[in-house]
Structure 1
């Protein structure tokens, strides 16, 4: 019998790539969550949606939690709305969804969870204070969940992408800018903003992140848990 995969943030760049790769692999039991149907920050909404998913497709065997948001702000001049939004979704959503799914996996003694975070959790970026802080918190929380779940046969890992060619990245570009020029700038880095370039010389595609998520969720990674896999072309170097 095929596994039941639950994918959050399913309409986003990475989430849709995960769904595409699951379909290509012939996986039939897939549950996809995204707004407006499922709000990952709402415990009641998550509980009801999970109950429906389990009723329709059986217990969740693999969770790929991709749902997230980005709001630019400064640490020197904080934006309360940006902080609330990033922490609410990027940390709160991880806690709400992953804890509930993990509880059911622990009760069965099997399962795997992959949380999509960001390499900005490890390397500060000027102008992305709230986002980086929320992703750092989510990464730490996911590792603690993995530690608590390990004795019960449940693995929890993190995938931390760098710059990825998604609508979220493109939304940071000036209106009317030339996409190829913007991508070249991302690859080169921005010393004046203390942002490293990408040694591999390319921006990730959503499929690159999706493949890493599905590998960590697969039996090939059965002895890996609490790991933070950077998929960023070397942009964080040894951070």
Structure 2
């Protein structure tokens, strides 16, 4: 051994051909060649989930009621030669959902992965909240999860396989001022997914939840204004009983998407009825 070589106790870091350190990542299996239905795929977390699963080799059925936004998102992924097909549908319409799921199975194959990422947010104090805001939030965030899960589960059960993930929110477990409708709807979707997981466990179908905190998405920008100030979210607001983010940063959609990808992979094969908080510690969740 020469004096310039590291000792056996000090292994060299992996290097690429350009001599930069190579990122070591767990390789996820069980996603490649599977058909994955992702709702809310036109933007934000849903769009990033579609990208992440497609990069992992899934054949993605990207669904959203925003036809124009969905076409743009799908075109971007298609330009990267990723296997994604767009399907315009409103998850709040049970008949449209049934038609969507049947169309995906007919055109792309049996759905083995479902990600419920469609969601809407209306903020405001309860005393001032109009009926339509409450109804709209629940029609997508709770009813929509039920409709899509029911349609997909009916097809997964005879096949005795599948993985379902519902994107909820840390607001489902922590009260938030001016977010009652959103928090309540996400709590409903989370508890629904747990109950579904219990019912489907006998068939080998896993159902889990991912609960993001403040994530830099169009939904957050619509709530806070286009110029999102990460410092305010990170610091929290004692006046609003809102804890800050211990990791001192906003989540990016990719942070949430990678958590979803893990939960639908073989590496999470013994995980079901679990709620994974991806919020930088903001909920102080145990």
Q: What TM bracket, shorter-length normalisation?
A: over 0.9
CA displacement, residues 105-139 of structure 1 (integer Å, 9 cap, x when unaligned): 11110000000000000000001111101111111
The normalised TM-score by structure 2 is 0.79
Bigger relative contact order, structure 1 or 2, given CA contacts below 8 A and separation 6+?
1
Change in CA separation of 1:50 and 1:174 when aligned onto 2, cut-off 3 Å: closer
Query: Contact between 1:73 and 1:82, CA under 8 Å: does it hold in 2?
Result: no
Which one of the candidate residues 191, 194, 214 is aligned to 2:241? 194
Could you tell me how far 1:81 is from its partner in structure 2?
Answer: 1.8
Structure 1's consecutive aligned runs of 4 or more residues displaced over 2 angstroms after TM superposition are: 22-27, 75-79
Which one of the candidate residues 84, 94, 97 is aligned to 1:46? 97
Gaps of 5+ in 2: 1-31, 67-87
Write the distance in 2 (CA, Å) between the matches of 1:139 and 1:73. Answer: 22
The normalised TM-score by structure 1 is 0.94
Which one of the candidate residues 61, 80, 85 is aligned to 2:136? 85
Gaps of 5+ in 1: none
Write the distance in 2 (CA, Å) between the matches of 1:72 and 1:12. Answer: 20
- Other-structure match for 1:35: 65
Write the distance in 2 (CA, Å) between the matches of 1:20 and 1:59. Answer: 20
- Residue 151 of structure 2 corresponds to residue 104 of structure 1: no
- Residue 232 of structure 2 corresponds to residue 185 of structure 1: yes
Write the distance in 2 (CA, Å) between the matches of 1:124 and 1:75. Answer: 13
Could you tell me how far 1:174 is from its partner in structure 2?
Answer: 4.0
Give the superposed CA RMSD.
Answer: 1.3
SS, match of residue 172 in structure 1: helix
The size of the alignment, in residue pairs, is 234
Could you tell me how far 1:74 is from its partner in structure 2?
Answer: 1.6
- Residue 37 of structure 2 corresponds to residue 6 of structure 1: yes
Query: Contact between 2:34 and 2:57, CA under 8 Å: does it hold in 1?
Result: no
- Residue 158 of structure 2 corresponds to residue 127 of structure 1: no
Could you tell me how far 1:99 is from its partner in structure 2?
Answer: 1.3
Larger radius of gyration: 2
